[in-house]
Each structure stands twice: as C-alpha cells, then as structure tokens.
C-alpha cells in the first residue's frame, strides 16, 4: 500500500511540476508580449511628438508663405500703377511729338 501511495504522490508531484512549468511558460509569453506592446507604444509616442514638431515647422513655413503672398500682391498693385503711369506718359509722348512737329512747321 505504501508503494501505491508513493507512486501516486510521485505522479501527482510530476503532474503539478508539469502544470507549473506550463504556467511559467504562459506567463513568460505574456510578459514578452506585454514588453513588445510597451515598446510599440513608446515608438508611437515618439512618432506623435515628431509629427507635432514637423507640424509646428510647417505652420511657420505656411505663415511665412502667406506673408510673402501678401507682399507680392502689394508689389503687383504697385506695378499696375506704374504701368498705368508709363502708358499715360507714352500717350502724352505721341501728343507732345505732334505738338513739337507742329511748332517746327
């Protein structure tokens, strides 16, 4: 009887040892999975902060571009005024040339 209970105890011990090893393996797999997720999460945080920095730089560039467009619009208006002035002067030139020609006759 003693040998039956001893072999039964050994069997239970071996079975418990096997279950414990399986649980340890499952826990190790879970820990490694968690570590990978944390690592991915930290990289996504880095990507988000890089995206925010890039957005801030882009925003500054857009503001500068807007200011440059406004300046270009002002320059275009002034060039239009100068064109009109030159056109009037050219028209007056032909009239003046006619007057000079009339005076020389």
The dihedral through the CA atoms of 35, 36, 39, 41 has a sign that is negative
Report H helices in 1-105.
Answer: 2-104
d(C-alpha 5, C-alpha 13), whole Å: 12
Distance CA 22, CA 102 (A): 117
Average pLDDT over residues 56-73: 93
Q: Which of 3-17, 18-32, 73-87 has the lowest mean pLDDT?
A: 3-17
The pLDDT of residue 4: 63
Q: Which residue in the block uniquely carries the two structure tokens 């002034």?
A: 78
pLDDT over threshold 80, residue 105 = no
pLDDT score, position 103: 87
Q: What is the pTM of this model?
A: 0.47
């Amino acid at each position: 009887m003693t040998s039956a209970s001893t072999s039964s105890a050994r069997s239970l011990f071996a079975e418990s040892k096997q279950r414990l090893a399986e649980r340890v393996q499952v826990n190790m797999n879970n820990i490694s999975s968690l570590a990978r997720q944390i690592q991915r999460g930290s990289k996504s945080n880095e990507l988000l902060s890089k995206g925010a920095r890039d957005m801030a730089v882009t925003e500054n560039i857009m503001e500068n571009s807007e200011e440059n467009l406004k300046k270009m619009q002002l320059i275009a208006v002034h060039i239009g005024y100068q064109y009109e002035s030159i056109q009037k002067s050219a028209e007056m030139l032909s009239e003046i040339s006619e007057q000079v020609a009339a005076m020389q006759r």
